[in-house]
Amino acid sequence: MALTVLWVAAAMYVERKTVSTNVSITGIGLHSGIYTKVELHPVPAGNGITFVRADLDGLRIPALQASTTSLDYATTLGKDDVAVGTVEHLLAAVMAFGITDLDVHIDGPEVPIVDGSALPFMHLIDAAGVRALGVDVPVLRVSEPIEIVDGEKSIRITPSNRLVLNHKIDFSHPAIGRQSYRFDYHRDNFLRKIAPARTYGFLRDVERMRAAGLARGGSVENALVLDDRGVMNGPLRFRDEFVRHKILDLLGDLALLGRPIVGEITANRAGHAMHSRFVGEILRKTVGTIDESEGTQPAAAIESFA
Ligand SMILES: [Zn+2]
């Protein structure tokens, strides 16, 4: 029997938003070890989220799946051999505020890691303020599940009118083990329960990563470091800080859809590479089903979009 699946987006809209004023933050890049300044600039509706290399004649790199160049330990965007790395924690904060339009000026190749979490970016956007742009954007909503499986790793989305992220990890490490977390998307939930969760790395990987040009800015100040027995630079902010950080990363990677999304997303042992394939799969399967015209009706009551 032939099965016809229609990927139909319901007419669901939220209002486009940008920041109210310019704000900036500086710091070292986790992988490059290079200090950069990031400055958020308000932009008109329809701009989307774009990284702007302020040191390279303002070269613009849209924060979209199509710009992804590398997914080793962090999400890197690029264009014409120019990159902006470790975008995911900043983008998670941008997503948490429901910001759809923003220029992120940066004078180097990597977003500062700051304390390894999204909290500094939450405070930065909060300091700038958020301005509604008076124009609606259609929300992506799948009508059928989409799933990617790769050995023990998997990620799927099922239809829902809210955005809910579930993540599960299983590391045979005394400080981690099995952890799972369910996050109901809302700015305040994100601020309290997810944003403070820091990135983490294993001491045994550091030499190999540095030889590969990674983790050069990493330190006990900006990442949880694990040796074979436990966390070297505790205390943890949450007992399950590791899986909460995976949720943070996933939300940041979903920004590369280029539009808001609703659905129940469940990830198992997935990392940036799988998140990215998933975003690509959602875009492929929903292309053409979204009404791209700017909505004029009032934003649908999606409370989870803070
Ligand atoms: Zn991360």
Residue environment code for 124-154, b if the CB has 16+ CB neighbours within 10 A, otherwise e: bbeebebeebebbbbbbbbeeebebeeeeeb
pLDDT at 193 over 70: yes
pLDDT at 302 over 90: no
Decide if 306 contacts 98 (C-beta within 8 A). yes
Ligand 1 geometric centre to CA of 195 (Å)? 10
Beta-bridged to residue 147, according to DSSP, are 156
pLDDT at residue number 4? 42
177 Cβ contact list (under 8 Å, min separation 6):
170, 171
Question: Given pLDDT bands bounded at 50, 70 and 90, which one contains residue 7?
Answer: very low
pLDDT at residue number 296? 37
pLDDT at 304 over 50: no
Beta-bridged to residue 272, according to DSSP, are none
Residue type, 203: L
The tokens for 304 are 């989870």
Helix (H) or strand (E) holding 60: strand 59-62
Ligand 1 geometric centre to CA of 168 (Å)? 15
Decide if 40 contacts 24 (C-beta within 8 A). yes
Q: Given 31, 167, 245, 272, which residue is catalytic? A: 272
The tokens for 107 are 């004078």
Ligand 1 geometric centre to CA of 275 (Å)? 12
Question: Given pLDDT bands bounded at 50, 70 and 90, which one contains residue 144?
Answer: very high
Question: What mean pLDDT is predicted for residues 27-52?
Answer: 97
pLDDT tens, residue by residue, 223-245: 999 999 999 999 999 999 999 99
Round to whole Å and give the CA distance between 279 and 71. Answer: 13
Q: For the whole prediction, is pTM greater than 0.95?
A: no
* pLDDT > 90 fraction of the chain, expressed in percent and rounded: 85
Question: Given pLDDT bands bounded at 50, 70 and 90, which one contains residue 288?
Answer: low
Decide if 281 contacts 65 (C-beta within 8 A). no
272 is catalytic: yes
pLDDT tens, residue by residue, 253-285: 999 999 999 999 999 999 999 999 999 999 999
Nearest to 273 by CA among 62, 68, 95: 68
